[in-house]
Amino acid sequence: MADVAPVRLKAPPAVTVVVPTRNEADNVRPLVEQLREALGGTPGEIVFVDDSDDHTPRAIAALSERDPEGVRLIHRTGAERTGGLGGAVTAGLAAARAPWVVVMDGDLQHPPATVPELLAAGQVDQADAVVASRYRTRGRVTGLGGAFRRIVSRASGTLARIFFPVRLRAVTDPMSGFFAVRRDALDITSLRPNGYKILLEVVVRGRMRQISEVPYTFQPRRAGESKASFREGLRYLRHLTLLRIGATRHPASPLGRFAGFALAGAIGTAVNSAALWALGEVAGLPYLLAAFLAVQVAIVWNFAVIDNLVMPPGEHARRRRFGRFLLLNNTLTPVHLGLLYGLVQLAGLHYLEANLLAVVAVFVLRYAVTSNWVYGA
Ligand code: GDD
Ligand code: MN
């Protein structure tokens, strides 16, 4: 029998590792080396999605030249750089060729040795996603910097779990940027990435029947610096709210928008009552004047909340939106004060009670007009 050498078909990758990078020039080579070692015989590809301004793309290209199938580079420039970190991850998910995708940072804070554990848990548990968690037993945080960051990270995670108690039931670390997901469980076009918290998008919008977790220890950054910021924190709050009320689908669902508006209104009502109490009871102003000022306080408060968290970005400049908002809400102020006056003088209610009733009565009217006039929806 002739000794025919078998044709070597290059195995399709079993796993795609997506690594978002921004200015990680010194980290990419050790990362690739450690990933290769961690994956061992598992055929895999690494897809870097890079938004750098330094020479990181050159460092990646050099690695890719030696192993074009194993290391791929998506270099985003200019207008392609949408969605920040989350946008980069989404682009990587879209380019992935393997049935399982692992997402991890490029600065070695996520240990490559955990990657096989994520994949194994996915198999054993027949999971749709496996999250690497800092908060499972055995997992620890050593690299998160000061106590402040640790508290912020914990609080953000807890907030996410309050917003999504069912979806995040099994997830102790919703802030994790280190996870594995079955590509089939995701409809990538449904993702609306917005800054750092791409895992939330994946878990909330994906078809997740089973989510598992694997503990890991968050390592100190190897080189370079973190891109997290207060701004990212605000972006996160906005993202969470939009995700919850379904408003990231444009146009926003009217029901979700109404819910967001109502929630903001409820808090605004509390602000209004507190201001009225302070102005009327503490400062001793006449109740109608106190009520007028309390309305102004509440309007400013409501605008800040609604404009930042609830409404999708409008087409007008913020100052113009605020101008309209103020004007509009004040066109209803005579109605508000009229009702208040009537309820106090004619129905004999205490002005604090009467004010609450007036707020509720005006609220429905205000919602209808605002959503039409300020946001044109
Ligand atoms: N492509 C791209 N575009 N990559 C980015 C961008 C961006 O705009 N911003 C940051 N990255 C990359 C970084 O280069 C790094 O590889 C990874 O995303 C994480 O960024 P860091 O700036 O190192 O984030 P961190 O260490 O503060 O945050 C980590 O902890 C969070 C949990 O607290 C990350 O693991 C996050 O993913 C995680 O959510
Ligand atoms: Mn980092």
ipTM: 0.96
Query: Residue 237: pLDDT above 70?
Result: yes
Q: How far is the CA of 87 from the centre of ligand 2 (A)?
A: 17
Residue minimizing CA distance to atom 28 of ligand 1: 228
The pLDDT of residue 138 is: 60
So what's the pLDDT on residue 251?
45
- Find out whether the beta carbon of 20 lies less than 6 Å from any atom of ligand 1: yes
Residue-wise pLDDT for 117-138, tens only, equals: 999 999 999 999 999 998 887 6
104 CA to centre of ligand 2 in angstroms: 10
More confident: 221 or 368 = 221
What pLDDT is recorded for position 362?
84
Residue nearest atom 6 of ligand 1, based on CA coordinates: 85
Distance 172 CA to ligand 1 centre (A): 19
Residue 79: burial class (beta carbons within 10 Å; 0-12, 13-18, 19+): exposed
Distance (Å, whole) CA 22 – CA 51 = 5
CB 37 within 8 A of CB 13: no
Index of the ligand 1 atom closest to the CA of residue 226: 22
How many angstroms separate the CA atoms of 109 and 34, rounded? 12
Q: List CB-based neighbours of ion ligand 2 within 5 Å.
A: 107, 109, 226
> According to the model, what pLDDT value does residue 249 have?
47
pLDDT, mean of residues 323-344: 90
pLDDT digits over 170-193, tens only? Answer: 898 888 999 999 999 999 888 887
Query: Which atom from ligand 1 is nearest to the alpha carbon of 153?
Result: 33
Among 90-94, 137-141, 262-266, the range scoring the smallest mean pLDDT is: 137-141
Per-residue pLDDT averaged across 309-326, rounded? 75
If you measure from the C-alpha of residue 208 to the centroid of ligand 2, how many angstroms do you get, rounded to a whole number? 27
To test the pocket of ligand 1, the residue of 47, 81, 85 to mutate (highest count of ligand atoms within 8 Å of its CB) is 85
Contact 106, 63 (CB under 8 A): no
Rounded Cα distance between 213 and 189, Å, is 25
| Percentage with pLDDT > 90 across the chain | 50
Residue whose CA is closest, atom 7 of ligand 1?
A: 85
CA of 53 to the centre of ligand 2 (A): 17
Structure tokens at 238: 């906005």
114 CB under 6 A from ligand 1? no
CA of 304 relative to ligand 1 center, distance in Å: 28
Q: Is the CB of 156 under 6 A from ligand 1?
A: no
Q: What pTM was estimated for this model as a whole? A: 0.71
Instruction: Report whether pLDDT(320) > 80.
Output: yes
State the average pLDDT for the chain: 85
